[in-house]
Structure 1
Amino acid sequence: MYELESKIELLKNFVAGKSVLIVGNSESIFGLGLGDKIDSFDVVVRMNLGRVKKPFQQGTRTDVLFTSVPKLSESDIVSWFDPKWVVWATSKRDRVPEFRNINDRLIYHPMSYWEELYETQAPSRPSTGLIAINFFSNHCACASVSYIGFDFFETDTFYHKKRFGLLRKKLKTPRPHDGDSEKKFISDLEYRGKLFRLS
């Protein structure tokens, strides 16, 4: 476990001095037509089940995948994303799927980073998107960090819609995240020039 967490330094080296874009999974990403602009970044980060369905809107590349979803299988990760790095984002290490063939790409997000971020969101848990934004903005030496596809739960996560063929129906359980708190956290990063919204 320590070895998988210590590999985070390899990811930090990978993104050092590069432009990084974190692509969220809200429905608000569709209709913007920014696919080419998304692909122009040095590093494109996606999350969970947010596979590319419409390249004109979402771009095509995935260099880093942050996931907290136990049902996302190894074969799905390779066929949907084929990222250079896979980061298990949540603190729930007991839920990590078996990743035999991509173990060399697998990294555990450091527990200390998660706990520090959780203190800003408690009693809600930080979303996978916020975990990724916090990591690249506050713990890496990127040339720039930008984001798109986040609206703080004002619209649905796009893959909860049947038409995308990823989940059969919307989730009925309440969200464990606080959209207002996450928006405040991200607004503060923007105010300090550590994060930029792609538009």
Structure 2
Amino acid sequence: MNKLRFYAARTLRDEAALQALSVPQADLLADLDGKSVALVGNARSLADSAQGAAIDAADVVIRINRAPQPGPGSHGTRTDWLALAVRLSDEDLARIAPRRILWMSPKRKRLGYRIAQGDGFYLHPLADHQALKDRLAAPPTTGAMMIDLLLRSGLSSLTLHGFDFFASQSLSGRRTADQVPHDFGAEAAWVADLRRSDGRLSLI
């Protein structure tokens, strides 16, 4: 799809045309069969940890949005997939250097042409976002959407790093929990339920 057609599809909310740019969800999930996955959140508390080696030891390392990495000791060094719901500058994309980008936000007007044309690009279906929003009774975070998506795969393990449900706020911004539209209590309870029902999920 050329740039003009892309921006026309984005403006007109032509979801079918945009989805045609995405790898099928089944193919995305098949790439995780039998693999260990580290999903790295942006909690400030992670910067005080020594989880970097464990993160880099995973078969697939997935980071979220601006993916701050204060140091390898706490955050590791590798980014295989980047789950996005915000615009990123070319400089940030070059810094993070993901092999695959997943656009998780229902806000298609934020999606850039360069990202949508990338190798292995994935566009998260609007219906999946809405289903999780209904489950949590609030717009889900990018991290919650990724947990929901990843556990549908045949991965061997999913370890959450840097998830404290905004207890220490985010490394990538200064907003407080009251200034964002998410329900972190609901997400924490949901993750606790998932951990009890799915032994592949762990939270460090």
Instruction: Let me know the Cα RMSD of the aligned residues.
Output: 1.9
State the shift of 1:102 in Å.
5.0
| 2:132 is the counterpart of 1:120 | no
| Residues 74 and 102 in structure 1, CA contact (< 8 A), matched pair in contact too | no
Q: Given residue 110 of structure 1, which amino acid in structure 2 is its aligned partner?
A: P
Percentage of pairs with the same residue = 31
Letter matched to residue 196 of structure 1: S
- Distance in 2 (alpha carbons) for counterparts of 1:93 and 1:30: 31
Q: Deviations over 1:150-186 (max 9, x none)?
A: 11111110122xxxxxxxxx24781110110000110
TM-score (normalised: structure 2): 0.84
1:84 is matched with which residue? 99
TM-score, length-scaled by structure 1: 0.86
The answer as to 2:190 corresponding to 1:179 is: no
Whole-Å separation in 1 of the counterparts to 2:73 and 2:121:
29
Shift of 1:2: 2.1
Give the distance between the partners of 1:143 and 1:183, measured in 2 at CA: 22
* CA contact 1:11–1:85 (8 Å) conserved in 2: no
Question: What's the offset of the Cα at 1:127?
Answer: 0.3
**Residue correspondence of structure 1 range 8-27 to structure 2 within 5 A:** 8-27=25-44
User: Could you tell me which amino acid in structure 1 is paired with residue 196 of structure 2?
Assistant: Y
Deviation at 1:6, TM superposition (A): 4.3
Give the match for residue 166 of structure 1: none
Tell me, what secondary structure is at the counterpart of 1:4?
A: coil
Is the 2:156–2:200 contact (alpha carbons within 8 Å) kept by the matching residues of 1? no
Distance 1:175 1:131, change over 3 A: same
Q: How many residues align?
A: 185
Structure 2 distance, partners of 1:100, 1:91, is: 15
Equivalent positions of 1:36-185 (< 5 A) are: 36-70=53-87, 72-77=88-93, 79-99=94-114, 103-122=118-137, 124-137=138-151, 139-160=152-173, 170-171=174-175, 174-185=179-190
SS in 2 for 1:62: coil
Cα distance 1:60–1:147, how it changes in 2: closer, same or farther (>3 A)? same
- Structure 1 runs (4+) deviating above 4 angstroms are none
Residue equivalent to 1:165: none
Residue aligning to 1:163: none
Structure 1, gaps ≥5 residues long? 161-169
Letter in 1 for 2:169: D
Q: Distance in 2 between matches of 1:20 and 1:86?
A: 16
Name the aligned partner's letter for residue 135 of structure 1. Answer: L
Q: What secondary structure sits across from 2:159 in the alignment?
A: strand
SS of 1:188's partner is helix
The one-letter amino acid paired with 1:66 is A
Q: Which has the larger radius of gyration?
A: 2
Q: Are residue 7 (structure 1) and residue 24 (structure 2) matched? A: yes
User: Secondary structure of the equivalent of 1:104?
Assistant: coil
Shift of 1:36: 0.8
Deviation of 1:194 after TM superposition, in Å, equals 4.0
Distance in structure 2 (CA, Å) of the matches to 1:135 and 1:59: 23
